[in-house]
């Protein structure tokens, strides 16, 4: 905002100079100067409308969650924790912990390797700082599992413009991973860069729109040392490119169509240098039942075109080849619901809520064969979240 | 006919005037913020927030990202799952 203030002061100074020049000239000769001065005045006025209410720091809160995923032979569950505390009204510090206790007997594992159990721990720390109408977030995370260590740093800035009707956000994440294999130790690394920009625009007192764009670049070991591909029916270690760049755009529209009935629609398009293209569609409704219940119901559709070097069973030798079904062609749909119950609430002081969320999905692969049956593979999965939130 | 200095000045002045007039009109046409802060009560309702709780949103993003080819663009801060 200091830059905007400087800009406004410079505009005002130039405007006064132009007006003085215009007055010194008689009749039409002074008109260009006066008109230019008025133009600058209008521009200065427009900048003045950019002043918004100061950005607010997030509320102090604590969340304790139990989460689980079960589907396709994989189960993962564990606790997660978030604590956020305001510091002298200048900054909001937060810390997170997240655990994934994984038992993996997925189709890849049972057909080419042995089922395994492992635990991932992720620790995150960060700070939000409000500067006039901007909120700056700086955060870091550290994730560790027996054969993978990931460290990431991110910085995000969200600024309000146009009297708070428009919010523009910019973000950057840098990640560095050590990649290993159980029994062999760490042998390679991967680096990741994420750049994102977003805009939220208030349209009416009951509707707003949101658009996001994100570029992700990777460099390093991007495959799995355990995974095999099939070439002429023979199992060979997968061969993956060491670079990848993807782009994603997402558009979202949210609005209240009737008192306490909110609908949302969203669409995301993804494309990358591995020739994967994906469409994500989402529709949701949120409403309130009585004073204590808040319920969301949503549906999600996902369609993906596979990577150029993906093959269920390659019939020619190529530089890169994978049978990672995450990179294949498939359709997926999901339905989900989330309910929030206000357990205790003292307005302006604190609120404690109980939350439950469940998402059920189905995925049908178009070119990934279940080697046990010879038919195309598909699976169902259920995601559960149970958590208690305290805002104070 | 070779343009004189006077005719050049007249043309330049007309162009400047036209530009200034168009700019002024354009600036006048710039919209004012049409939803005032006191009209945004409904927008601040928790129902309007797609990702109400950061911890829950990050978990769902993680679950999708490790199983899908697509990633990012969802507005979840930080992004990435830090896993293989």
pLDDT tens digits for A16-64? Answer: 777 777 666 666 566 666 656 665 554 554 454 445 567 889 999 999 9
**Token representation of residue A52:** 């918004």
Model confidence, pTM:
0.81
Residue-level pLDDT at A46: 45
Closest-CA residue of B relative to A336 is B60
Cβ distance B33 to A162 less than 8 Å, yes or no, reads: yes
Residue-level pLDDT at A3: 44
- Chain A residues 96-155 with a CB less than 8 Å from chain B: 96, 98, 100, 120, 122, 124, 137, 139, 141-143, 145, 147-148, 150-152, 154
Closest-CA residue of B relative to A64 is B55
Q: Stretch B50-74: mean pLDDT, rounded? A: 92
Secondary structure class of A71 (helix, strand, coil) = strand
Cβ distance B83 to A224 less than 8 Å, yes or no, reads: no
Cβ distance A205 to B55 less than 8 Å, yes or no, reads: no
Residue-level pLDDT at A16: 72
CA A292/CA A313 separation, integer angstroms: 54
CA B75/CA A213 separation, integer angstroms: 9
DSSP state of A9: H
Is the pLDDT reported for residue B39 higher than 80?
yes
**Token representation of residue A8:** 């406004």
Which residue, among A146, A262, A309, would best test binding to B if mutated, counting the most B CBs under 10 Å from its CB? Answer: A262
Q: Which of B13, B50, B80 sits opposite A264 (nearest CB)?
A: B50
Cβ distance B27 to A100 less than 8 Å, yes or no, reads: no
CA distance B33 to chain A (A): 6
Give helix A31-48 / helix A2-24 axis angle, nearest 10°: 160
DSSP state of A164: G
CA B28/CA B42 separation, integer angstroms: 30
Q: Which of B24, B42, B59 sits opposite A38 (nearest CB)?
A: B24
Which residue, among A19, A21, A22, A36, would best test binding to B if mutated, counting the most B CBs under 10 Å from its CB? Answer: A36
Residue-level pLDDT at B76: 67
Q: Which of A154, A208, A286 sits opposite B78 (nearest CB)?
A: A154
**A152, A141 contact by CB (below 8 A):** yes
Residue-level pLDDT at A104: 87
CA A290/CA A298 separation, integer angstroms: 20
Residue-level pLDDT at A205: 96
CA B35/CA A389 separation, integer angstroms: 32
Residue-level pLDDT at A37: 62
Q: Which of B56, B58, B84 sits opposite A148 (nearest CB)?
A: B84
CA A218/CA A179 separation, integer angstroms: 14
Give chain A positions within 8 Å (CB) of B28.
Answer: 42
Parallel, antiparallel or unpaired: strands A261-272 and A243-258:
antiparallel
A249 and chain B in contact, CB less than 8 A: yes
Residue-level pLDDT at A277: 98
Share of chain A above pLDDT 70, in %: 88
CA A275/CA A246 separation, integer angstroms: 9
Per-residue pLDDT reduced to its tens digit, A183-197 = 999 999 999 999 999
Is the pLDDT reported for residue B25 higher than 80?
no
**A321, A231 contact by CB (below 8 A):** yes
Cβ distance B27 to A139 less than 8 Å, yes or no, reads: no
**Token representation of residue A51:** 């002043």
Q: Please report where in the chains the tokens 């920009």 appear, as a residue.
A: A197
Q: Please report where in the chains the tokens 């070439």 appear, as a residue.
A: A231
How many other C-beta atoms can be found within 10 angstroms of the C-beta atom of residue A260?
13
Is the pLDDT reported for residue B33 higher than 60?
yes
pLDDT-flagged residues of chain A (< 50): 1-4, 7, 42, 45-46, 48-50
Q: Closest Cα to residue A95, out of A72, A61, A47?
A: A61
Render the burial of B49-77: b for 16+ CB within 10 Å, e for the rest.
ebebbbbbbbbbbbbbbbbbbbbbbbbbb
Give chain A positions within 8 Å (CB) of B58.
Answer: 96, 98
A227 and chain B in contact, CB less than 8 A: no
Residue-level pLDDT at A315: 95
């Amino acid at each position: 905002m200091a830059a905007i203030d400087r800009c406004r002061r410079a505009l005002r100074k130039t405007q006064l100079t132009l007006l003085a020049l215009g007055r010194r000239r008689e009749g039409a000769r002074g008109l260009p100067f006066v008109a230019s001065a008025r133009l600058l005045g209008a521009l200065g006025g427009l900048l003045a409308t950019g002043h918004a209410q100061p950005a607010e720091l997030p509320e102090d809160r604590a969340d304790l969650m139990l989460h689980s995923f079960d589907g396709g032979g994989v189960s993962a569950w564990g606790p997660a924790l978030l604590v956020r505390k305001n510091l002298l009204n200048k900054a909001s510090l937060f810390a997170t912990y997240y655990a994934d206790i994984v038992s993996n007997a997925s189709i890849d594992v049972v057909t080419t390797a042995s089922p395994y159990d492992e635990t991932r721990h992720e620790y995150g720390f960060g700070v939000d700082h409000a500067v006039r109408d901007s909120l700056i977030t700086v955060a870091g995370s550290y994730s560790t599992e027996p054969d993978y260590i990931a460290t990431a740093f991110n910085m995000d800035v969200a600024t309000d413009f146009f009297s708070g009707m428009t919010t523009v956000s910019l973000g950057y994440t840098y990640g560095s991973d050590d990649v290993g294999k159980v029994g062999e130790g760490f042998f390679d690394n991967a680096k990741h860069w994420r750049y994102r920009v977003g805009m939220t625009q208030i349209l009416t007192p009951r509707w707003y729109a949101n658009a996001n764009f994100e570029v992700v670049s990777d460099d390093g070991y991007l495959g799995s040392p355990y995974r095999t591909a099939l070439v002429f029916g023979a199992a060979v270690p997968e061969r993956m490119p060491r670079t990848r760049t993807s782009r994603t755009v997402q558009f979202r529209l949210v609005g209240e169509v009737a008192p306490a009935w909110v609908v949302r629609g969203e669409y995301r398009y993804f494309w990358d240098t591995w020739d994967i293209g994906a469409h994500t569609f989402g529709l949701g409704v949120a409403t309130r039942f009585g004073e204590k219940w808040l319920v969301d119901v949503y549906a999600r559709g996902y369609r993906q075109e596979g990577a150029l070097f993906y093959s269920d069973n390659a019939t020619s030798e190529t530089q890169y080849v994978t049978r990672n079904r995450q990179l294949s062609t498939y359709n997926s749909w999901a339905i989900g619901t989330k309910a929030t119950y206000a357990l205790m609430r003292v307005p302006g002081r604190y609120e404690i809520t109980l939350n439950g969320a469940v998402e059920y999905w189905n995925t049908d692969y178009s070119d990934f064969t279940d080697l046990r049956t010879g038919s195309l593979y598909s699976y169902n999965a259920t995601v559960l979240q149970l958590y208690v939130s305290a805002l104070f | 006919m070779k343009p004189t200095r006077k005719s050049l000045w007249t043309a330049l002045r007309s162009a400047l005037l036209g530009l200034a007039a168009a700019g002024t009109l354009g600036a006048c046409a710039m919209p004012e913020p049409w939803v005032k802060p006191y009209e945004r009560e409904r927008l601040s309702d928790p129902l309007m927030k797609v990702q109400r709780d950061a911890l829950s949103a990050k978990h769902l993003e993680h679950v999708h990202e490790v199983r899908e080819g697509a990633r990012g663009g969802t507005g979840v801060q930080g992004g990435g799952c830090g896993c293989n």
